Amino acid sequence: MGTGDAPQGWRVLLRSSEIGVVFLASVIGVFAGLIVLAMSFTTQLLHELVFGLSQGQRLSITTNIPPWRALVGPVLGGLAIGFASWLFFRRRKQPVDPIEANALHGGRMSLRDSVFVALQTIGSSGAGASVGLEAGYTQAASGLASHIGRRLRLRRADMRLMVGCAAGGAIGAAFDAPLTGAFYAFELILGSYSIAAFVPVMAATFMATVTHSLLAPSLLAVEVPPIGPIVVSDLPLVVMLGAACGLVGILVMRAAAFVEAGFRRSRIPTWLRPAFGGLVVGALAIWNPSVFSAGHGAINLYLGIDTSLLLLAAVLVAKALASSVSIGSGFRGGLFFASLLLGVLTGRLFIGVLSLAFPNLAGHETLFALVGMSSLAVSIVGGPMTMALLALEMTGDLKLTLAVVGAAGAASLVTRRLFGFSFATWRFHLRGESIRGAHDVGWMRDLTAGSMMRIEVPKIAADATIAEARLKYPPGSTNYLVAVGPGDAYVGMVPPGALYEPDPALGEEAAAEPAPRTVRHLLHHPDRMLLADMSVRDTLKLFDEAESEALPVVADRDSRRLVGILSEAHAIKRYSDEMSRRNRELTGD
| Total number of residues shown for the chain | 589
CATH code reported for the domain at 232-430:
1.10.3080.10
Q: 169 with 204: CB under 8 angstroms? A: yes
Confidence of residue 467 (pLDDT cuts 50, 70, 90): confident
Closest alpha carbon to 168 in 30, 272, 29, 36: 29
**What pLDDT score was predicted for residue 589?**
56
Domain with CATH 3.10.580.10 in the chain: 444-587
Band (1; pLDDT cuts 50, 70, 90): very low
Burial of 201 (0-12, 13-18, 19+ CB in 10 A): buried
Most confident of 309-323, 410-424, 460-474, 558-572: 309-323
Mean pLDDT of 184-204: 90
pLDDT reading at 6 higher than 60: no
Q: What average pLDDT does the chain have? A: 85
Instruction: Label residue 5 by pLDDT band (50, 70, 90).
Output: very low
Q: Residue 240: pLDDT above 80?
A: yes
pLDDT at 516 over 70: no
Q: Model pTM greater than 0.85? A: no
Give the per-residue SS3 of 532-555: CCCEHHHHHHHHHHHCCCEEEEEC
The predicted model gives 401-428 an average pLDDT of 86
Residue 59 has pLDDT above 80, yes or no: yes
Highest mean pLDDT among 12-21, 377-386, 533-542: 377-386
- Mean pLDDT throughout 216-234? 69
What topology is assigned to 3-221 in CATH? Clc chloride channel (1.10.3080)
Residues of the chain with CATH 1.10.3080.10: 3-221, 232-430
Answer yes or no: is pLDDT of 170 > 90: yes
Side-chain-side CA neighbours of residue 513 (13 Å): 8
Handedness of CA 150, 154, 159, 161 (dihedral sign): negative
Cβ pair 335, 381 in contact under 8 A: yes
Please check the confidence at residue 56 and state whether its pLDDT lies above 90: no
CATH architecture of 444-587: Roll (3.10)
pLDDT at res. 126: 94
Tell me the C-alpha distance between 539 and 275, whole Å. Answer: 46
- Is the pLDDT reported for residue 488 higher than 60? yes
Give the residue-averaged pLDDT of 455-481: 86
* Mean pLDDT along residues 363-375: 88
Residue 515 has pLDDT above 50, yes or no: no
Whether 474 shows a pLDDT value over 90: the answer reads no
User: 232 falls in which pLDDT band (50, 70, 90)?
Assistant: confident
CB atoms under 10 Å from CB of 342, counted, come to 28
Give me the pLDDT at residue 502, please: 67
pLDDT interval class at 29 (50, 70, 90): very high
